[in-house]
Amino acid sequence: MSTLGNRDFVKMNGLGNEIVIVDLRRTPSPIGAAEARGAALQEPYDQLMALYPARSGADASICIYNNDGSEAGACGNGMRCVAALVSRETGKGRLVFETAAGAIACWDAGGGLFTVDMGPPRFRWDEIPLAEEFADTRRIELEVGPRGAPILHSPSVVSMGNPHAIFWVDDPGAYDLAKIGPLLEHHPLFPQRANITLAATPARDHLVIRTWERGAGLTKACGSAACAAAVAAARLRRTARKVTVTLPGGDLAIEWRDGDDHVLMTGPVEYEHEGRFDATLLADAGAAS
């Protein structure tokens, strides 16, 4: 049986990161991978954010699906969209959501901006996770291209609820990320696959990135990748702990707080439209899930 058939949805975006939100709090039912893929064919999205009843006093529990049907642990841009929607519904300026990556607090930062507390980054090789041990995850041994003359090498790796690999380059736009990204996403070193980011640091308070997003592909904006790149840059002393991250879709303000190690992401949200999933088109996908 289809969970999403005849279900209303809201389409939003965070800096062009396409987000579809479905509210299942009153009629909770699981969404299978095939149905999530079918929904993406009806209403193209990068991430599907499904709201469920909270289990421990939070405002909602959220399951996050990539457009290939896989589940994601975190989606910073999607969390801002959900926060904006639920804030408008409830009148609350501060909200807490349960996710696979833990409880995530979000709040209205004013001026159409929302802030997401993405929590502390994780650096240990088995927390990211990696398939083999590296004592220092600020730089690991991984190369792309000819031996002795790689085009990319020595990425920083970190988990922001999802695994991230950040390659440091002069110009993130100078590489064919659509070709390189899927190869690295599925590299044996990443047992849960990885988000692949190319990052430049033109100033102490500024990063420029492009990201191939695990399970979604090339994206105009990936919030968790922006956080991961900012943290990795600060660990390497490339930047300070408070930076602007420029993505193809626009800018995010990222702060890696010294006091509690939490990473705060602030950025805009945009409402696009509302719609309803076609039950007939999703029926087979629901049965297959």
The pLDDT tens digits for 15-41 are 999 999 999 999 999 999 999 999 999
Q: Read off the pLDDT of residues 159-177 as tens digits, 9 standing for 90 and up.
A: 999 999 999 999 999 999 9
What's the CA gap between 204 and 244, in Å, rounded? 10
Q: Read off the pLDDT of residues 250-282 as tens digits, 9 standing for 90 and up.
A: 999 999 999 999 999 999 999 999 999 998 877
Banded pLDDT at 285 (limits 50, 70, 90): low
Q: Find the mean pLDDT for residues 104-112.
A: 96
Question: Is 222 an active-site residue?
Answer: yes
Which helix H or strand E contains 61, and what residues bound it?
strand 60-66
Residue 95, pLDDT > 90, answer: yes
Residue 186, pLDDT > 50, answer: yes
Question: Is 227 an active-site residue?
Answer: no
> Domain limits of the chain?
8-118+270-288, 143-261
Q: Catalytic one among 75, 81, 106, 227?
A: 75
As a whole number, the mean pLDDT across the chain is 95
Residue 286, pLDDT > 60, answer: no
Q: What is the pLDDT of residue 73?
A: 87
| CATH match of 143-261 with 3.10.310.10 | yes
| CATH match of 8-118+270-288 with 3.10.310.10 | yes
Tell me, yes or no, if the two domains 8-118+270-288 and 143-261 fold the same way. Answer: yes
Rounded to two decimals, the pTM is 0.94
The DSSP output letter for 122 is B
Q: Catalytic one among 63, 81, 222, 227?
A: 222
Q: Read off the pLDDT of residues 76-91 as tens digits, 9 standing for 90 and up.
A: 999 999 999 999 999 9
CB 206 within 8 A of CB 234: no
